[in-house]
């Protein structure tokens, strides 16, 4: 046991799981004691979805070193396909939890499959070009899904890209109605299910990072040419990370979608992709626990500032810029070091302890 705890990776992983589990237990207890406000209850599922999205994007951006600006596209695919599957399985599977699970798995698989397809061309590109193509992919998905019509009637399942080609028999319903988005969605999502998704995401991503594949992926990130020359199949490993990340984003999207009775494709636009990227960068690239915490905090922050109304997003923007300046700027770093040295000195003076390591 001691040996396991001495391994730094294992220790950080255990801490990550522990934080998530403790947070879940606390929130669930408060929930069952009915001590949460209604708005707080509404945040729980989206937070779980965004945590999974941030962690899965971190696999791509932080661990793999590929800047992706189209994560919301995968999320959207998961959300819309999940809704359709949940509606189709309504008469087949009675249990809500099982149906949600099917929807999430299907959403994830579809997103993963599309991730594979788009990965073939995308992964030939590097750096900023890869970012542009993922951006383009996200916009294409938003645009196509925003014009997709899916409906069921007594005849069966219908799908078309415009209203004129789609006629439902009497009693049929639209599941996805073009620009109006998915309507009449059953709210199957629940907080425990979100927790399970977060755990699954953490399990998959953490295991991948600390496996042979993960080390290869990190090698590719740090120096692609060197990695290639020691015999690592760069494209295969990048593809693996890309597909896993898309799969998890699809699952999170399905959960997210089924938390609302209706949603439109514009919910999964460029801004959403960017928001998830902000979670990852502020949480620390490659730092999984950081992603979990920053996704939670940054999702709640603008919501909690609703009282400020119009100033809310302005303040968010300022906070974002300041945080980036404080964490990255070399000049600010120097200054904060001076301040922290000064505080340390003061602390030692006050406690009467001799300063260690500085004077000696």
Q: Which residues bind another protein (CB under 8 A)?
A: 61, 67, 121-122, 124-125, 128-129, 131-133, 135-137, 139-140, 142-144, 146-147, 161-162, 179, 225, 270, 274, 277-278, 281-282, 285, 310-311, 313-314, 316-318, 320-321, 324-325, 327-332
Element of type H or E holding 298: helix 288-304
Least Cβ distance, residue 140 to another protein (angstroms) = 5
What are the structure tokens assigned to 327, written together?
């964490």
Least Cβ distance, residue 187 to another protein (angstroms) = 29
Least Cβ distance, residue 166 to another protein (angstroms) = 14
Q: Which is nearer to another protein, 143 or 207 (CB)?
A: 143
What are the structure tokens assigned to 137, written together?
């992919």
Least Cβ distance, residue 25 to another protein (angstroms) = 33
Residue 331, Cα to own-chain centre: how many angstroms? 32
Q: Which is nearer to another protein, 14 or 319 (CB)?
A: 319
Q: Which is nearer to another protein, 125 or 196 (CB)?
A: 125
Describe the crossing of helices 234-257 and 212-222 by its angle, rounded to 10 degrees. Answer: 110
Least Cβ distance, residue 3 to another protein (angstroms) = 36
Least Cβ distance, residue 144 to another protein (angstroms) = 5
- Dihedral of CA 146/279/55/210: which sign? positive
Q: Which is nearer to another protein, 30 or 325 (CB)?
A: 325
Give the DSSP letter of residue 266: G
3-state class percentages of the chain: helix first, strand second, coil last, to nearest 5: 75, 5, 20
Least Cβ distance, residue 337 to another protein (angstroms) = 15
Q: What is the dihedral of CA 40, 44, 45, 46, to 10 degrees?
A: 70
Q: Which is nearer to another protein, 5 or 324 (CB)?
A: 324
Report how far residue 264's alpha carbon sits from residue 129's, in angstroms, rounded to the nearest whole number. Answer: 28
Report how far residue 282's alpha carbon sits from residue 294's, in angstroms, rounded to the nearest whole number. Answer: 7
Q: Which is nearer to another protein, 2 or 331 (CB)?
A: 331
Give the DSSP letter of residue 353: P
- Dihedral of CA 12/41/87/116: which sign? negative
What are the structure tokens assigned to 357, written together?
């390591």
Report how far residue 291's alpha carbon sits from residue 263's, in angstroms, rounded to the nearest whole number. Answer: 26
Q: Which is nearer to another protein, 59 or 102 (CB)?
A: 59
Q: Which is nearer to another protein, 100 or 110 (CB)?
A: 110
Least Cβ distance, residue 153 to another protein (angstroms) = 24
| Closest-CA residue to 193 (of 270, 82, 285) | 82
Report how far residue 315's alpha carbon sits from residue 309's, in angstroms, rounded to the nearest whole number. Answer: 10
């Amino acid at each position: 046991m001691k040996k396991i705890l001495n391994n730094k990776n294992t220790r950080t992983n255990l801490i990550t799981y522990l934080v998530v589990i403790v947070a879940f237990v606390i929130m669930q207890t408060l929930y069952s004691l009915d001590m949460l406000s209604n708005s707080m209850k509404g945040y729980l599922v989206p937070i779980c979805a965004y945590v999974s999205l941030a962690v899965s994007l971190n696999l791509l951006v932080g661990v793999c070193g590929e800047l992706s600006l189209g994560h919301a596209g995968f999320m959207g695919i998961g959300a819309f396909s999940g809704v359709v599957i949940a509606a189709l399985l309504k008469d087949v599977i009675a249990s809500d939890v099982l149906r949600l699970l099917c929807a999430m798995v299907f959403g994830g698989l579809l997103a993963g499959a599309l991730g594979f397809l788009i990965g073939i061309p995308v992964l030939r590109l590097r750096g900023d070009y890869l970012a542009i193509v993922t951006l383009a992919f996200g916009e294409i998905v938003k645009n196509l899904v925003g014009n997709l019509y899916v409906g069921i009637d007594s005849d069966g399942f219908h799908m078309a890209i415009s209203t004129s080609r789609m006629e439902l028999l009497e009693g049929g319903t639209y599941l996805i109605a073009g620009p109006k988005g998915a309507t009449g969605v059953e709210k199957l999502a629940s907080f425990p299910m979100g927790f399970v998704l977060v755990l699954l995401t953490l399990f998959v991503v953490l295991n991948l990072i600390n496996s042979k594949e993960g080390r290869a992926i990190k090698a590719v990130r740090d120096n692609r040419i060197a990695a290639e020359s020691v015999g690592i199949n760069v494209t295969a490993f990048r593809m693996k990370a890309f597909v896993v990340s898309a799969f998890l984003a699809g699952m999170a999207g399905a959960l997210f979608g089924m938390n609302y009775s209706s949603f439109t494709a514009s919910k999964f636009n460029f801004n959403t992709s960017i928001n998830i990227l902000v979670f990852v960068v502020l949480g620390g690239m490659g730092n999984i626990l950081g992603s979990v915490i920053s996704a939670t905090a940054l999702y709640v922050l603008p919501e909690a500032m609703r009282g400020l109304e119009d100033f809310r997003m302005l303040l968010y923007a300022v906070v974002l810029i300041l945080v980036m300046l404080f964490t990255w700027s070399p000049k600010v770093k120097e200054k904060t070091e001076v301040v922290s040295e000064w505080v340390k000195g003061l602390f030692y003076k006050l406690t009467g302890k001799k300063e260690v390591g500085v004077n000696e």
